[in-house]
Amino acid sequence: MATEIPMVTAEERDWATAAARARDISSWDRTTDVLVGGYGGAGVCAAIEVAEAGVDVLAVERRESGGGTTITSGGQLYIGGGTSLQKELGYEDSPEEMLKYLLAFCGPAADEEKCRYYCERSPAHYDWMVEHGVPFRSAFFPPSEGTIPEGDEGLMYTGSELGYPYREIAKPAPRGHTAKRPGMNAGLVLMTSLLEAGEKAGVKVAYKSVLERVVMDEEGRVVGAIATVDGVEQSIRARRGVLLTTGGFIHDRGMVERFAPRILGCFPPLGENTEDGSGIRIGMGAGGAVIRMDESSIVMPFAPPRDLLRGIFFNRLGQRFIAEDLYQCELGDAVVMHQDGVAYLLLDSEIGPENSMGAQVCAKGSLEEIEQALGVPATGLAHTVEQYNRFAAEGEDPLFHKHPNWIRPLDKPPYKVLDISLDKCAFPTFTLGGLWTKSTGEVMDIEGNVIPGLYAAGRTSSGFPAAGYNSGMAVADCTFFGRVAGQTAAAVAPAD
């Protein structure tokens, strides 16, 4: 698959934060080898790699402490290809099977080079996380229970590997590796471990400080940055370059309106409020191109109890539109992008509960009564259910190929319907587009030329997650490619 070639309009250039010129700086206030903007998942991993290479590194972080969005996340990393944890628990996987799945799930916008690069090095990335103090419990959380464990199990399915058509394209394997902590905030354990590793490696961090813009010399090389440190503007020379890891742009409504307007109705925004696109705009100001800016992760509010998977989704016409057992982000994308934000879940009397993740019952009774209550064309839903039940009695779903484990006839009235429309439920979302980078983390201009001295990782860049998103991809992408960008920057000869 070819990488999308970015096109930059004059309007997009207007969003850029113009770079400062080195010739206008008479003397630098501070000097380091590598300057990292942002100290979340990508920033800390980048800084650790730089420091462990014996290179001086300074991180600039807006908040009073590090962690970014990763520290409030579920602490899941989408890692596979045959990790030691997968092997220990008896699950076979390979980089080749993992790559097949990623390319199929992420669709035509997938960056094949980055996907391949990551899959080949994924097992080693897990080992690196363990070596740097991130704990994982050797226990499996079954897919029948969900994708986010209430306990501290370390391995689980966090995508659509068992769904159609993916189970026929690639051999399914659980690739969700979750840091050891009960509940949904394992990101606290993951990031606390990495922050401690950064301190141990000797990373210097300026907290309550803001990276304002990069500084470029006459040859177009990024040689430093302007930052506000403790309320004072400083010029910081970076002899090997500047690495941008400030997150995406979900909290800048203007950028969302311009680049990803289809998610304007989605709420809440996922991520810390520092994810305001600042790093992306800084990179654009240095000539960096942006790609896949309209890509996002949209989570449908469809979660445990998993018994709900036995119901069927239908649209305003009473028609099914997707297999119910696919991952929540694929379901969310289908509702928002392809069903005008209108969708319902039909359950019979043997499937509960009365609500799920805020979705409320909006109609009850016979299929005919439900059609009338929702304004669905007469017999539209009844025909859908009749057809579904006919095949479900044989354990089949020829239309959408839902896994047989979740198929049974819906033939126990009275029925009830959960309204999972965009205006009735929370559809958490975050952005996936960003600066165009090589797998090495080097930022490129619109012609694909590397901008010397400029690097990016995490949601500030366009990583391997594209149209398709699974739990743990963002944390895996930011930590892995943060590391790679740090390695690349550390290996560059320092400028005079």
The amino acid at residue 267 is: F
CA distance 114 to 111: 5
Is residue 435 within 8 A of residue 292, CB to CB? The reply is no
Q: State how far the Cα of 187 lies from the Cα of 69, in Å rounded to an integer.
A: 9
Strand-pair partners of 418: 345, 361
Residue pointed to by tokens 């509702």: 335
Give me the residues of the chain with pLDDT under 70, please.
Answer: 1-13, 183, 302-305, 353-357
Q: How far apart are CA 94 and CA 111, in angstroms?
A: 19
Q: What are the residues whose beta carbons fall under 8 Å from the beta carbon of 394, sequence distance 6 or more?
A: none
Mean pLDDT, the chain, rounded, equals 94
Residue 5: its pLDDT value, please? Answer: 46
Question: How many other C-beta atoms can be found within 10 angstroms of the C-beta atom of residue 278?
Answer: 23
Q: Which two tokens stand for residue 31?
A: 């000097």
Cis ω on the peptide bond leading into residue 268 (within 30° of 0)? yes
What pLDDT, on a 0 to 100 scale, did the predictor assign at position 13? 58
What pLDDT was estimated at residue 15?
85
Rounded Cα distance between 408 and 406, Å, is: 7
CA quadruple 343, 348, 351, 356: dihedral sign? positive
CB 215 within 8 A of CB 235: yes
CA 147 to chain centre: 15
pLDDT of residue 145: 80
In sequence order, what E strands does 200-260 have?
A: 204-206, 209-216, 222-229, 232-244
Which contacts (CB < 8 Å, 24+ apart) does range 136-141 have? 136/85, 136/177, 136/178, 136/179, 136/180, 137/180, 138/85, 138/88, 138/89, 139/89, 140/89, 140/91, 140/174, 141/178
| Buried b / exposed e along 1-30 (16+ C-beta atoms within 10 A) | eebbebebeeebeebbbebbebeeeeebee
Token pair of 414 as six digits = 């009275």
- How many Cα atoms occupy the beta-carbon half-sphere of 66 within 13 Å? 29
Quote the CA–CA distance of 335 and 278 in Å, as a whole number: 30
Which residue in 82, 176, 117, 86 sits closest to 473, CA to CA?
176
Residue ranges and CATH numbers for the domains of the chain are: 1-296+428-496 (3.50.50.60), 306-419 (3.90.700.10)
Extract the tokens encoding 101: 């799945």
Report how far residue 309's alpha carbon sits from residue 55's, in angstroms, rounded to the nearest whole number: 52
Closest to 136 (Cα-Cα) out of 179, 190, 86, 176: 179
In angstroms, the CA 65 to CA 68 distance is 9
Tokens of 134: 């991130």
CA distance 244 to 212: 11
Closest CA to 456 of 465, 443, 446: 443
Structure tokens at 247: 């997150």
